[in-house]
Each structure stands twice: as structure tokens, then as C-alpha cells.
């Protein structure tokens, strides 16, 4: 009798175990169905490419060079530096711009006087000694009266960027970057001047995606 009970218990145990194994198999089967490989793998790849972004500069050693009076272009410059791993350097005017200098509603403000004179070349403070070390230059500025501020003309007059890749970027209230890009191409005919990035003044602190898309389009 004892043997019969033991046998029946063993059979019961066997069923219970195989039933459990079936459950867990089914669970993992469902999980696999709910997350097909096509869904999982691209998201892993996207993470991989995000991690690789610091190497996304268009080629060789890169520098982010920017002019910014009220911080908007600087915010974009820092985002580009963060995403590319490039160093950032600010172009400072020898004579800093005051609030009055930038008051473009006043016809006679310094910025307007400079923009009204196409030969104006406001001086840059100091000199960049090691510019030849860089292959790619991300060059940023605000848009003033539809184009780049004259201090950028000073920069392009003073430095020969032949053979370098130039990635222009700007911030503005609404104007595009095309006029500035044409001016840069004219000033640096032997540089490879790529499509520019324009970020709205109000989006400068929130430009991660715009910068990423621009960098990706210029790899
Ligand atoms: C003198 C001056 C002229 C400007 N002209 C324009 C313009 O033509 N079009 C435009 O969209 N924004 C214009 N702006 C707005 C700036 O492009 C915008 O505020 C920019 O984000 C400032 O950048 P920053 O903070 O890096 O100096 C002008 C600003 C100044 C001071």
C-alpha cells in the first residue's frame, strides 16, 4: 500500500514539474512575441550610435569657435562641443559690446553703424595661434541684419581656412543663415563650407536634437 502511495505521489510530482516547465516556456515565448527582434535591435543600435556621438565631427581635429553677445549662440556652441567632443573657443571683441551698442532700434547704435559699413572690421581680442592644428571648424555667430556680424568678417580676413571644413551655425530671431554662408564661401574660397545650422534664439538652450540632426547630415 505504502509503495502504491509513493508511486502515485511520484507521478503527481512529475506532472506538477512538467506543468511548471510548460508555464515558464510559454511565458518566455510570449515575451519574445511581444518584443520582436526588429523592435529590440534598432533601439540598441540607436543607443550605440548615441554613445558614439562624441566622434561625430566631420573629420580630423575639430574646434568650435563662436561669437556671442547675449549667450544664445554660446549655448548652441556648447551643445556642439558636447556632442562632438571638440574644444570650444569664444571669439572676443577687443571692445566688448554694451547693451546700448546692441540696441538695434537705435539707428546709431554701434552694431548698426558697423552693419551699415560693409568695410567695418571690429578688432578681435588676441590671436588664435594654433588654428592650423584643426581640420574642422564649427563657426557660430548671431545674425545681425540678415547676415553675420562684421567681427566675423574680421576673423575670415585674418585667418586663411584653405583646406579646412567649415560648419557654420547661428542663432537669430527669425532670419536664416544662407546669406552668411554665402559670405563665408566668398571669404574662404578654398575651404569646404558646409550647410549651415540656424537655431532660433528661444530654442538655443534646447537644441540637442537640431544639433544632432545637423551633425548626422554632415558626417
Ligand atoms: C544688431 C542686431 C541685429 C539683429 N538682426 C537680426 C536680424 O536681422 N534677424 C534676426 O532674425 N535676428 C536679428 N537679431 C537678433 C539676434 O540674431 C538674436 O538675438 C541672437 O540669438 C543673438 O545671439 P547671441 O545671444 O549669441 O548674441 C539682431 C540682433 C542684434 C543685436
User: Which residue's CA lies nearest to atom 9 of ligand 1?
Assistant: 175
Q: Is the dihedral of CA 124, 56, 205, 107 positive or negative?
A: positive
Residues with CB under 6 A from ligand 1: 68-74, 102, 104, 111, 142-146, 171-175, 201
Give the pLDDT score at 219. Answer: 84
| Ligand 1 center–CA 6 separation, angstroms | 89
Do residues 65 and 139 touch, judged by C-beta distance below 8 A? yes
162, three cell numbers: 584653405
pLDDT > 70? residue 124? yes
Give the pLDDT score at 90. Answer: 98
Higher pLDDT, 53 or 143: 143
- Print burial letters for 129-148: b (CB count within 10 Å at least 16), e (below 16): eebeebebbbbbbbbbeebb
Mutate to test the pocket of ligand 1, among 201, 202, 205, 210 (most ligand atoms within 8 A of CB): 201
| Ligand 1 center–CA 150 separation, angstroms | 13
Share of the chain above pLDDT 70, in %: 74
**Residues 110-131, mean pLDDT to the nearest whole number:** 97
User: Which phi and psi (to 5°) does residue 74 adopt?
Assistant: -60, -40
Higher pLDDT, 38 or 196: 196
User: Which phi and psi (to 5°) does residue 65 adopt?
Assistant: -115, 130
Give the pLDDT score at 57. Answer: 52
**Residues 63-91, mean pLDDT to the nearest whole number:** 98
Indicate which atom in ligand 1 lies nearest the CA of residue 141. 26
| Ligand 1 center–CA 73 separation, angstroms | 10
| Ligand 1 center–CA 13 separation, angstroms | 79
pLDDT > 50? residue 123? yes
pLDDT tens by residue, 154-177: 999 999 999 999 999 999 999 999
To 5 degrees, how large is the angle CA 204–CA 208–CA 212? 125
User: Which residue's CA lies nearest to atom 7 of ligand 1?
Assistant: 145
Amino acid at each position: 500500500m505504502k509503495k502504491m502511495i509513493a508511486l502515485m505521489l511520484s507521478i503527481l510530482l512529475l506532472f506538477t514539474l512538467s506543468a511548471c516547465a510548460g508555464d515558464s516556456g510559454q511565458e518566455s515565448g510570449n515575451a519574445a512575441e511581444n518584443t520582436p527582434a526588429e523592435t529590440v535591435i534598432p533601439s540598441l543600435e540607436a543607443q550605440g550610435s548615441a554613445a558614439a556621438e562624441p566622434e561625430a565631427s566631420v573629420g580630423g581635429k575639430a574646434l568650435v569657435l563662436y561669437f556671442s553677445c547675449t549667450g544664445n549662440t554660446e549655448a548652441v556652441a556648447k551643445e556642439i562641443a558636447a556632442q562632438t567632443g571638440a574644444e570650444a573657443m569664444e571669439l572676443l571683441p577687443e571692445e566688448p559690446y554694451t547693451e546700448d551698442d546692441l540696441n538695434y532700434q537705435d539707428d546709431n547704435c554701434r552694431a548698426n553703424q558697423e552693419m551699415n559699413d560693409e568695410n567695418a572690421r571690429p578688432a578681435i581680442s588676441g590671436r588664435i595661434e594654433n588654428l592650423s592644428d584643426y581640420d574642422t571648424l564649427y563657426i557660430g555667430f548671431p545674425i545681425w541684419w540678415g547676415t553675420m556680424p562684421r567681427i566675423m568678417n574680421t576673423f575670415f580676413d585674418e585667418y586663411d581656412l584653405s583646406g579646412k571644413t567649415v560648419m557654420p551655425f547661428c542663432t537669430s530671431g527669425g532670419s536664416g543663415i544662407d546669406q552668411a554662408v554665402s559670405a563665408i564661401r566668398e571669404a574662404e574660397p578654398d575651404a569646404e563650407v558646409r550647410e549651415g545650422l540656424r537655431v532660433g534664439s528661444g530654442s538655443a538652450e534646447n537644441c540637442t536634437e537640431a544639433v544632432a540632426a545637423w551633425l548626422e547630415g554632415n558626417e
